[in-house]
Amino acid sequence: MYKIIAHPGSAHRDDFMAVSVLLATLEDAVVYRREPTREDLADPDTYNVDVGLIYNPDKHNFDHHQDESLPCAFHLVMKHLGLHKAAKSMFVWYAHMSMMDVRGPYETAEHLGVDTQVLFASSSPIDGYILSRFSAVESLTAGEMLYDLMKNIGQSLIEQIDLKRQRLERLKAEAKLVPIRHLKILVCNIADDPKLAMEIFLRDLNDEQIVMCITPSVRGEGWEMLRLGDNTIVDFRAIADDPAIRFVHATGFVAKTKTLIPLDEALKLAAQAIADD
């Protein structure tokens, strides 16, 4: 049986996520939240995460506090698992999570070009609750609710990397750019989790003329037409009264049709939502 040791006291996203992916990849492990002993640091069957002041992946020691050039423990574990590069390319939050842990919110906010209060205001109460539960335990074993939740989170993260890779290939093959006036609309008919990896695909296209995407809706049987970015040129309230429309958000950023009407009809509606120059 493996042991995973994380630091005691307040838990953070770093150690929580590192432990979660380890639980997803180790067949049988017990989690302890305490300081490691010399024996723990020397035992390759013990994974010391974010604690111990040693980075030695061969002996499964993954601390970064002793070396300011190292990323967070979660990244060190992901590198060990061979998942770091893929996670960095697939998850927008991945790099910034390490910066938050290593450099703190003020340097991270400066790097992102936002006020620090924006980071504090965007913190999730769900995160806070789960981390508080992890902070409160001294050990976790299989079958406990928090243990199983963390393992499932780790498994989901690893699965998402492969799913996004596969979806990117499908988007490259199946998604189409349709010119509307002087702009472009991205159309994709993938019905299973239609937004999966879409943000990565759009980032790679890097085309400011793409102002909207049309995909099957995950809520209802019609199309979803979604405005991309913070622009005002697209406002779906202009088509709210069309009989083919089931829903338009009060702020006009998204619209849904009642059914999967022919695509050319959906494109005509989309064109009506684009304001004149």
Q: Which CATH number goes with the domain that contains 191?
A: 3.10.310
Quote the number of domains for the chain: 2
Is the pLDDT at 275 greater than 90? The verdict is no
Question: Do 208 and 109 fall into the same domain?
Answer: no
Domain that holds residue 70: 2-164
Can you give the pTM of this predicted structure?
0.88
Mean pLDDT of the region 116-138: 90
Question: Do 17 and 128 fall into the same domain?
Answer: yes
Return the half-sphere exposure (C-beta side, CA atoms, 13 A cut-off) of residue 45.
Answer: 6
Is the pLDDT at 269 greater than 70? The verdict is yes
Q: Which of 132, 164, 196 is the last residue of a domain?
A: 164
d(CA 235, CA 248): 9
Mean pLDDT of the region 147-153: 98
Tell me, yes or no, whether 120 lies in a domain. Answer: yes
The pLDDT confidence band at residue 2, using thresholds 50, 70 and 90, is: very high
Question: Do 12 and 135 fall into the same domain?
Answer: yes
More confident residue, 106 or 225: 225
The pLDDT confidence band at residue 277, using thresholds 50, 70 and 90, is: low
Calculate the alpha carbon distances from 253 to 1, 119, 137, 226, 260 in Å.
52, 24, 43, 6, 19
pLDDT tens per residue, range 48-105:
999 999 999 999 999 999 999 999 999 999 999 999 999 999 998 999 889 888 888 8
Is the pLDDT at 122 greater than 90? The verdict is no
pLDDT at position 13, please? 95
Q: Which of 136, 164, 192 is the last residue of a domain?
A: 164
Question: Do 12 and 116 fall into the same domain?
Answer: yes
d(CA 65, CA 240): 55
Show the beta-strand stretches assigned E in the chain.
Answer: 2-6, 29-33, 46-49, 55-56, 61-62, 139-140, 176-180, 183-187, 210-216, 223-227, 245-248, 254-257
Paired sense of beta strands 176-180 and 183-187, if any:
antiparallel
pLDDT tens per residue, range 196-251:
999 999 999 999 999 999 999 998 899 999 999 877 899 999 999 999 999 999 99
d(CA 157, CA 17): 10
Quote the percentage of the chain above a pLDDT of 90: 84
pLDDT tens per residue, range 9-45:
999 999 999 999 999 999 899 999 999 999 999 999 9
